[in-house]
Amino acid sequence: MRFVLAAVLGLSAGAVQAGGPVAVAAEPEVAAPAAAPAGWDWTGFYAGVSAVSGSFSDSSIDYDTSGFGIHAGYLRDFGRAIVGGELSFSKGDYGDLAPASDWDATRVKLIGGYDAGRLLPYAFVGMTKYDLNQTPAFSDTMVNYGIGARLALGQGGKFVAGIEYLVENKDNFDGTGVKVKNSEVALRLDYRF
């Protein structure tokens, strides 16, 4: 019995030496699935500057306008729907034919938009305190409304470029009986906090 056991062990050892070491195949590495890209979130405060160009009419004559502005606001992203508000101040001047030397406007806007990733198309409505700085000066409150679009720039999207079209009008501006209409296109640059 000992002889049989020794023979079996001897043959086994010889077979292992003859065949050399047996390589064990490594298990293939399974790559982790790529994470789905996170959706863009517009929630937060922002502030920025704008360059404005437009026209102002006083019942009979249209005047070209241009100016600059500052603004600050807050947006809340609810998935596809975005809601927010903005406060802005703009100042500029009129073409050579206008009796007023310059104008300024303080605006409050309620914003509603659509989350299309880094692109945010939106519409707004609000109120404007519009001042005609001439002698005598005139000032009144008007409704404002319009549309715009914003695009988040760069990897983190802290800077946002935008364009906005705004309209304001009043039938009896400051009790003068004059119907005024102001329309503007603004190029904007915002910083998101």
Query: Do 150 and 161 form a contact (C-beta atoms < 8 A)?
Result: yes
Which domain, by its residues, includes 155? 44-192
**6 located within any domain:** no
**92 located within any domain:** yes
Average pLDDT, the chain: 84
Exposure class string for 161-179: b at 16+ Cβ within 10 A, else e: ebebebebebeebbeeeee
Higher pLDDT, 35 or 108: 108
**26 located within any domain:** no
Interval 31-63: pLDDT, tens? 554 433 456 899 999 999 999 999 998 877 888
Backbone angles phi, psi at 28, to 5 degrees: -65, 140
Residue 110 sits in a domain whose CATH number is 2.40.160.20
How many domains, the chain? 1
pLDDT at 21: 55
**109 located within any domain:** yes
**17 located within any domain:** no
Instruction: Report which residue type is found at 116.
Output: A
Interval 74-85: pLDDT, tens? 999 999 999 999
**15 located within any domain:** no
Q: Is the pLDDT of residue 106 over 70?
A: yes
Which pair of structure tokens corresponds to residue 18?
Answer: 């003859």
- Please tell me the least confidently modeled range out of 15-19, 105-109, 160-164: 15-19
**33 located within any domain:** no
What is the secondary structure of 34-90 as a DSSP string? Answer: PPPPPPP---EEEEEEEEEEEEEEESS-EEEEEEEEEEEEEEEE-SSEEEEEEEEEE
pLDDT at 9: 46
Q: Which pTM was predicted?
A: 0.76
**179 located within any domain:** yes
Confidence of residue 8 (pLDDT cuts 50, 70, 90): very low
